[in-house]
Amino acid sequence: MSRAIDLFLAYLRDQKGYSEHTVRNYRIDLGQFLAFLAAGPEGTRLEDGDPLEVEAVNALVVRQYLGSLYGRLKRSSIARKLSALRSLFRFLEREEWIKGSPAAEIAAPKLEKFIPGYLPVDDMFRLLKRPDQKVPLGLRDLALLEVLYSCGIRAQELEGMNLSSIDFDQRLIRVMGKGRRERIIPIGRQALKAVQAYLAATAHLRPGRGDPPLDSPLFINFRGGRLSTRSIGRIVGRYVKGMGLAGGISTHSMRHTFATHMLDGGADLRSVQELLGHKSLTSTQRYTHVSLDRLMAVYDKAHPRS
């Protein structure tokens, strides 16, 4: 089973083009399943075969594993781990390691309705005023917040941006999303202005002399290295905490805020789907609930019988 997982992870990385972040999450989830097997779950006793052999894993074992997670993890986390197992066994079925997936017929847990956290416009504008624009790293933090809010990109996508990722003349950015899908997104004038001020103020932090290479990272730390996803999260969290806002506002909340404000401003769902890089419109529809007040106002104004 350990070798099967290694081959599957290599397939995700080398053939599917998944990011290191995504592959790492698969490795963690599947590693936990491997640890469960190594403990010798009931139904895979040694006399029936080695529990770490792929052939020893049946639907009963998968159900027992998922059952062991209830009470310890959220349903969404359990559903993610089941999804990882399904992907693994589909791969093994295609590679003819097994004849059928033991996870294929197992239903995912019913998920709680997820209401994305987001900031109202006034709070978002207050957040953008928090960084100290008198120091280089304050200008970096402002540019970081402006790009997240202006473009609705993920923290991992922000981490991967290089100097060549921004077209200042066309007001566009290029990011590499999930599954290595590239997309082009408009960027607002205020965000561009913040990025330009940041680049001018931090030129001395970048290695070498003269103009830095275009493939160098856009957002850097105080040593001149690429700013990591974790560091981006800490920066956002620090400013959120400084405002005294309720917990739960993260880098992903900036993405929710972008989508919510776009819909409230009259953008159609399909356009927001393209900007966010969602494969399915269902993913984007999570944001429609926050626009009900606007929809009610439109209804009351437009419908003859309202």
pLDDT in tens, 14-71: 888 887 888 999 999 999 999 998 887 554 444 455 667 888 889 999 999 999 998 8
Q: What is the 3-class SS of the chain, one letter each residue?
A: CHHHHHHHHHHHHHCCCCCHHHHHHHHHHHHHHHHHHHCCCCCCCHHHCCCCCHHHCCHHHHHHHHHHHECCECHHHHHHHHHHHHHHHHHHHHCCCCCCCCCCCCCCCCCCCCCCCCCCHHHHHHHHCCCCCCCHHHHHHHHHHHHHHHHCCCHHHHHCCEHHHEECCCCEEEEECHHHCEEEEECCHHHHHHHHHHHHHCHHHCCCCCCCCCCCECCECCCCCECCHHHHHHHHHHHHHHCCCCCCCCHHHHHHHHHHHHHHCCCCHHHHHHHHCCCCHHHHHHHHHHHHHHHHHHHHHHCCCC
Report the alpha-carbon distance of residue 70 to residue 53 in Å, rounded. 25
Which are the catalytic amino acids? 154, 178, 252, 255, 278, 287
pLDDT in tens, 171-210: 999 998 877 788 999 999 999 999 999 999 998 888 766 6
pLDDT at 292 over 60: no
- Range name among 42-56, 118-132, 154-168, 268-282 with the lowest pLDDT average: 42-56
Domain locations in the chain?
2-94, 121-299
Helix 269-276 × helix 251-264 angle, to 10°: 160
From 1.10.760.10, 1.10.443.10, 3.40.50.2300, 3.90.1150.10, which CATH number describes the 121-299 domain?
1.10.443.10
Going by C-beta distance under 8 Å and a sequence separation of 6 or more, which residues neighbour residue 186?
Answer: 151, 171, 172, 275
For the question of whether the overall pTM of this predicted structure is more than 0.85, the answer is no
β-partners of residue 183 are: 175
pLDDT for residue 112: 64
Over pLDDT 70: what percentage of the chain? 87
